Structure 1
């Protein structure tokens, strides 16, 4: 990958180019390896108050974020979101009914959530009882007491014109913000890392809180709605289309996608039988760019990482310049780079690193990006017929500048989220670890971690302690140097 001067279709938090070498320095640091993990701790012990039934898979140990503490609240453990969304393109108006099932993690006089005041709430009930709501900025308060380990059902009806929120980043593809976006043709798409889901639904907008999702998406035909998971039903009558989507595995809010547009879709399948859909503009190529290579990307990754961790995979092409590993339905901008096979490999790799196992705190986004970048580097080196070490040498030529300008990967400048420092430094680190422990042990680590932590969250303390225990190596100084030092460690 050649060095560039600006971000060209770089993915929002999931795909960085060498272009990020042009970013400026940061200062505010996250937690250090010596203190193991973010300073906040889980609200409940792992086995306290686990919900019964089908929602048990979505139980989380929620926490306050160490980098962006103003977003999310550990009092709420979201279990299931049912989002009934209707889009009116003639007025750019969203009308919604949301049913949120959640577990309270402590006693409190009110329910705190993230939501944007641009959307007006017309009705709110908790377990069928009307409740007063207050929205100030991006904070929603529902005046209803909650008790630890009890489950509640919040139903909200609201409407308005969603708009993106400012992004904590200097990247070119973040300039229009995060969350819900509307195109000049009145189509819509969403990208929301590290936050921004609150621009279109009431949410505990933090990666530690993974939940199940169902969507009912209504629009005037020929528009239709696309979301995560499997398309459960699709109808068109009385001039309206209604698509329902079901996501069978829990997802963090930043991994959720919804788009309304005039789409066509193409069905593909990987060699192992993973169903794959390509959703793109109805008037264009049904498999634009290199999207037809999606089965090959899944095949290659399964050889390295083991079975794909979800029941479906898809690519949703929208009118932007970014890309995002939204769970089971990757959101890609309609640019040559975003639609390249290298990007598809990168985004698909996140389904093992980032989606099925998700960082519990934004200080550990390097856990996702470093591994996805390393796997992309492996794939690129194979395609180019060069050793992976050569690819790492190429990346090392600019990694020091990224680290200097945006901070070390594990303690990045929070105003420069998604810069290249969280991608390339950790990718180099993984190559160094591979050389240290050998290929056999290294690839065992790569396969075992996402399988072990499937549908869960983890922080660096859990991850790095597990690596040390699994390899039998003392690696504290190694990881400290690569993740926290202001200067790049010497490579072997």
Structure 2
């Protein structure tokens, strides 16, 4: 995710006191061995996700009518039980549920809490065995303004939001710890277009309906999926290796086409840093709604109207940091945003535009060293509600200082190795710290503590390591 410049400035300006990282109340212990837990006990969002099963694939079918915002949906979830289950939960706060089946037999269900859909199969599920859940639902979807469905001014709509958005349009196990492949089948009136993530395998018109299928073949998290409906025009390109690049532009977003023409160049740039592009398709979705952020939806980011070249570089860097390698917990958010911000704000200007980023680093430190609010929120474990703050404006400084501490050869080889080792999975900040320490001949404990855990400026030895020393 990249926030608009005005939003970032407002965030920094609003920070007036050092917050204590917020830990949400944990999920009460589940004492019934045949009931899946209602959450995964993430320290910030303990009721997100569910226990007792692993999702393998989502097959989402939706019929959407733009004038009325009516959605009719059916989602099939292929999963594997990890314990005996007489009851389990899905995360869903979308339209009214009409029917649920498990292994094609009717199942009882109950909606409760903020987003819980509790399912009771007719026959209990056995551990280690696959099962299928189908949920049918229908109703009007509400405009959540960046936390799920968002209406476009011309009548279109799209889904975007982090850390949650998928629950607004299909049921799932909504946790970073359970990635799955994803297929979307969408029907809309013939004059509308539908864009999603992955590879487009169908786009046909039958009668008054357009029927579109998008397939995401590599595992994906819920908030990194999307459906976008508008009168899109397309830009179709290919990388030198044949990877298809499909980008879509809402009617008032055509001005971004020139930037998106540089997508092959941006992918090549990021690939040289972090290893082979991890997916089989790429592109972008340029919306024209009033949105304060752009989002790294997997393979095809959603771009707000204010999008510029650094924003595209940022979201493409997320395809490695956030999409392929995802956080274990939301307290690890620096892995996503620190790297995406460093790539766009430091590495691209340095390598592609010839900028002196060492000088820019020193200038930023001089400007903010004596500004307490600049250092108030720690980079590691910033606290619930503070995830999307310091990682943007201080994260690049941390990584640049780490690079200078280690030297270019060690730093760039290590971050590439770390990303490759965790591809299509999860990683944490403690794991990143341990890995980088294993590549360093000197003890990095003080460096990491000063930059990641403290809420005061690091001392000179950590602010100006290596060639940053004047």
The answer, yes or no, to whether TM exceeds 0.5 is: yes
Structure 1 residue 130 displacement after superposition: 0.4
Secondary structure of 2:261 counterpart? helix
Secondary structure of 2:316 counterpart? helix
Contact 1:264 1:286 in 2 (8 A): no
Equivalent residue for 1:364, pick from 332, 345, 362: 332
Q: C-alpha deviations, 1:127-183, integer Å up to 9, x for none?
A: 011011111231110113444333221001101122355xxxxxxxxxx34111222
Q: C-alpha deviations, 1:234-288, integer Å up to 9, x for none?
A: 1012011111011110011111111111112111133444321211125763853
How many angstroms apart in 1 are the aligned matches of 2:120 and 2:263?
47
Structure 1 residue 63 displacement after superposition: 4.1
How many angstroms apart in 2 are the aligned matches of 1:9 and 1:115?
32
Aligned: 1:249 with 2:225: no
**Comparing 471-480 and 87-96, the one that deviates more:** 471-480
- What corresponds to 1:53 in structure 2? none
Task: In structure 2, list runs of 5 or more residues that go unmatched.
Answer: 31-38, 465-470
Structure 1 residue 75 displacement after superposition: 3.0
Which has the bigger relative contact order, CA under 8 A and spacing at least 6? Answer: 1
How many angstroms apart in 1 are the aligned matches of 2:70 and 2:130?
32
Equivalences for 1:75-474 in 2 at 5 Å?
A: 75-116=52-93, 119-136=95-112, 137-144=114-121, 145-163=124-142, 176-281=145-250, 285=254, 288=257, 290-320=259-289, 321=291, 322-335=293-306, 338=307, 340-376=308-344, 377-382=346-351, 384-396=353-365, 397-398=367-368, 401=372, 403-405=374-376, 407-419=377-389, 421-474=390-443
Corresponding pairs, count = 438
Contact 1:357 1:458 in 2 (8 A): yes
Structure 1 residue 18 displacement after superposition: 5.0
Q: C-alpha deviations, 1:166-213, integer Å up to 9, x for none?
A: xxxxxxxxxx34111222432111112111211111111121211100
Evaluate the alpha carbon distance shift between residue 9 and residue 122 of structure 1 in structure 2; reply closer, same or farther with a 3 A threshold.
Answer: farther
How many angstroms apart in 2 are the aligned matches of 1:456 and 1:30?
26
How many angstroms apart in 1 are the aligned matches of 2:127 and 2:445?
37
Equivalent residue for 1:20, pick from 6, 11, 24: 11
Task: In structure 1, list runs of 5 or more residues that go unmatched.
Answer: 1-6, 11-15, 32-38, 44-61, 166-175
The structure with more radius of gyration: 2
Evaluate the alpha carbon distance shift between residue 274 and residue 373 of structure 1 in structure 2; reply closer, same or farther with a 3 A threshold.
Answer: same
Q: C-alpha deviations, 1:350-405, integer Å up to 9, x for none?
A: 11111111001000011111111111122124455322212323443348555545
Q: C-alpha deviations, 1:84-126, integer Å up to 9, x for none?
A: 011111221011010011223333431111111x511111100
- What corresponds to 2:41 in structure 1? 64
How many angstroms apart in 2 are the aligned matches of 1:273 and 1:238?
33
- What corresponds to 2:35 in structure 1? none
- What corresponds to 2:467 in structure 1? none
Contact 1:232 1:245 in 2 (8 A): yes
How many angstroms apart in 1 are the aligned matches of 2:120 and 2:19?
39
Secondary structure of 2:267 counterpart? helix
Evaluate the alpha carbon distance shift between residue 447 and residue 131 of structure 1 in structure 2; reply closer, same or farther with a 3 A threshold.
Answer: same
How many angstroms apart in 2 are the aligned matches of 1:237 and 1:142?
36
TM-score of the pair, normalised by structure 1: 0.83
Evaluate the alpha carbon distance shift between residue 395 and residue 348 of structure 1 in structure 2; reply closer, same or farther with a 3 A threshold.
Answer: farther
Secondary structure of 1:463 counterpart? helix
Contact 2:253 2:286 in 1 (8 A): no
RMSD (Å) for aligned C-alpha atoms? 2.5
